[in-house]
Structure 1
Amino acid sequence: MQNSIRRARQLVFVSVAAGLMSGCGLAYKPVGHTLNHYALDEVVPYALASDDLDQSACGTGMGLSRLVGSFSRVIDRPARLLIVTNTTASFCSEARAQKYHLLVQRNLYNGQTDVARDNRISAQRWERITALRRYQVYRDTVQAFGEIGGAQCSTVRDEIGTDQDALVYLTGLLVGVQGLLNDIQANSSVGVPQNIAAKAGPRLPLSG
């Protein structure tokens, strides 16, 4: 009798736990959509208006990229928002790369060739991280707006209730080209396609 009661309690516990877990799963999708909208509507403009560029760029990008990206497990990948967050995150790694590039120049000036070699390796490592982030920006741009350089123009429209689509699209193109340059600095270890510049160039405002 006691065994039957114990088993019944276990079944009830498992059923309740499963119900709670499924309820959480149902909540993830609206939370993901809400976070996506809020970040584009409020967080990004707030960060762009900040006087503290280091905190607004690095802090926003590094803080939101993984959180927002994780929602691609339950909703469509929020590519437009990830274009912005990975772009700002790439500023952090690029700043570190520049720091080591400057150290290399100082080391060579002081005749410290061994130290310069170590700092050059560190610079290339951060260039590679920057290239990875910026190549992901380019891929998210393709996912959000369509293939770049194809027969048809990419779709730039107010799809998610913001007026930032054109800015996000141009940012994705420009950052993709920058990622190619970062990859060259990293000895092409990422493998960013060389034709990115040819595809993006004619669509940038400065290309005439």
Structure 2
Amino acid sequence: MAHFRISSLDCARDLSALKAYVAVLVASLVLSGCGVMNQMIYKTTGDVMQGFSRDHTVPYLMKSGDLAMGCAMSEATAPLLMSFGRVTSEPDQLAVMLYLSAGGCAEEEAREHELAGLAAMNALNANEAEDAMIRQKRAYMLASARYFKAWKHHNAFYGEPGNGECPGFDDDMDEFIYMAGLLSGLQALNAQIQSTSSIGVPANIGSIVARATSCLENDKWWGAPMALRATVWAMIPGAQPQGENAFERLEIADKQGEEAGVRLPHVFHAIAAINKGDQDMVKDVIREHAQSLDEKPADEEWRFVDAMATNMMVAISDRLWVENTGHRTPLGQLGTFWDDQQEEVETMNLDDLL
């Protein structure tokens, strides 16, 4: 009969191995628990950040007239806020505002390059003009890509627009973001055209946006939905319904925007006039905008939108001024032009008094 002996050394070794195994098991459970805990913390933080940004940051920004600060905020915080989509639901609604604003930053840069190019052409500096135009197109490509992201997130949150069905809006901010998403789609197409390159923005976005504006209350939103729709009618051949007149609609929308203190319809009117090639109409819209600024303060809740409209009107005015004089609109003279007739000032001959 075989005899087995278990030495004290063997027991010690077995006990040590058991302890090591238990230690590894406990550590793995703890680390696993930490991972789960971290995921819960990240998700909660993401949900809170999304909710706070939508309910407080965006409304706060809309009350501000500081476009540069809004631009800097969107470019700086978009990666952070959008990264929460990795641990919780995708922040589609917030993304509409972030990428629309960031797209505006890139478009502002494109306009600056355009002015530099026009000034160089005015000075007969061909190389500088060409370089500025190349930078302009690059900036428009970036703007188009950002606007298109806003459009995609808009569709992910609200559903495909222009299909005859309107989403149910929870509150005014919900409805405003829907309108902002429609604007981003139109801007994506416009920026793509300006860049002279394609990043995949569908050419039919304009007609889709025009149909989708029917989901918005025109009177409530300063005439902007009708102005947006009329602009599409004016720019796309065959889009205008029978019996409608795009420019009459735009004039009506202008008055609504002026009375509300949110002059966004002026921008659409000017864009439609530029597309038509009617410089006199463009000038008239700029004059009307400048006069309205003196007569009606911006709506306190939507200062940012009104400031954005004024910024666009200044940009359009600057383009006209640089093309014709080599410099921008003189400070404090928005609504005036280089070829305005100067009022004759009656002069007195002092010699007659002697």
2:175 is the counterpart of 1:166? yes
Among residues 184, 199, 207, which one is paired with 2:208 in the alignment?
A: 199
Give the greater-gyration-radius structure (CA). 2
Residue 47 of structure 1 contacts residue 60 of structure 1 at CA under 8 Å; is this kept in 2?
Answer: no
Among residues 59, 72, 77, which one is paired with 1:64 in the alignment?
A: 77
How many residue pairs match? The answer is 203
Cα distance per residue 1:60-113 (max 9 Å; x no partner): 211332122112222221111110111111121111111111111111112221
2:45 is the counterpart of 1:36? no
DSSP-derived class of the 2:160 partner: coil
Aligned to 1:182: 191
Shift of 1:6: 5.4
CA distance in structure 1 between the aligned counterparts of 2:177 and 2:131, rounded to whole angstroms: 37
2:162 is the counterpart of 1:153? no
Shift of 1:196: 0.3
CA distance in structure 1 between the aligned counterparts of 2:98 and 2:211, rounded to whole angstroms: 25
2:34 is the counterpart of 1:27? no
DSSP-derived class of the 1:75 partner: coil
**Which structure exhibits the higher relative contact order, with contacts defined as CA atoms closer than 8 Å and separated by 6 or more residues?**
1
Sort the Cα spacing of 1:67 and 1:155 in 2 relative to 1 into closer, same or farther, 3 A.
Answer: same
Greater Cα offset, 73-82 or 92-101: 73-82
Q: TM-score, normalised by structure 2?
A: 0.54
Shift of 1:169: 0.5
**Backbone CA RMSD of aligned residues:** 1.9
Which residues of structure 1 form unaligned runs of 5+?
none
Pairs within 5 Å for 1:37-116: 37-55=51-69, 57-116=70-129
2:140 is the counterpart of 1:131? no
Stretches of 4+ moved more than 3 A in 1? 1-15
CA distance in structure 2 between the aligned counterparts of 1:106 and 1:6, rounded to whole angstroms: 76
CA distance in structure 1 between the aligned counterparts of 2:190 and 2:61, rounded to whole angstroms: 26
CA distance in structure 2 between the aligned counterparts of 1:143 and 1:8, rounded to whole angstroms: 48
